[in-house]
Amino acid sequence: MDLTKEYPRSVRAKWQGVVQLGRAIDKAKAVAHGNVGDYHYRCPMDQAVFGFLGIDGDALLETVRSATSDAEIEAFTRPFVAAKPAEEIARWNREWLEKRPQGESLEFFEQLRNDIVPDRSDVVTWPDLLDLDEKRDVPRRAPAAV
C-alpha cells in the first residue's frame, strides 16, 4: 500500500466486521513499505479500535511487516475480533461512525472541515470528513442539532 499515491480504506470499511480496523491496517502496510505519506499509523482513531479489541499496535505492525498475505494479518486479528460478541461489535461500529468530536478535537475538526468543505456544515463526524477529504461521496444530511 502506497499512501503517497492512494487513500487508505474508509473508516466505514469493515475488516472482519469491525470499522476502522481495515484503515489502520492499510496505514500499517504503508509504514511497513516506507510510503505512509501524510497519514499517521496509531493515530487516536487507530488507537481507539486497538483499545476496543485489545490489539497492540506494535504487534500488529510487526505482523504486517512479516506477512506475505492478508490471510496472515487476518489470522493475527481474528482472535481479538472473535473475543467480542457480535452485539458489542455492532454497537462499537454504530457509535464509532456517529461519534462527534468534542473540545479541542472539535475546534480542530471544524477548522479542517472549513478548509476541506466549507459548504458542508452537515458534516459532523470524522468518518464523513475523512471520506470527503479522500474524494468519497458523503450524502448531505439535515442540519445537525446543536
| 90 and 122 share one domain | no
Is residue 124 within 8 A of residue 110, CB to CB? The reply is: no
Closest to 53 measured CA to CA, from 21, 25, 29: 21
| 8 and 65 share one domain | yes
- Whole-model pTM: value is 0.90
Confidence bin at 142 (pLDDT 50/70/90):
confident
Is residue 93 within 8 A of residue 84, CB to CB? The reply is: no
Closest to 8 measured CA to CA, from 89, 53, 35, 22: 22
| 8 and 20 share one domain | yes
Structurally, how many domains does the chain consist of?
Answer: 2
The residue-averaged pLDDT of 111-119 equals 93
Domain residue limits at 21: 1-99
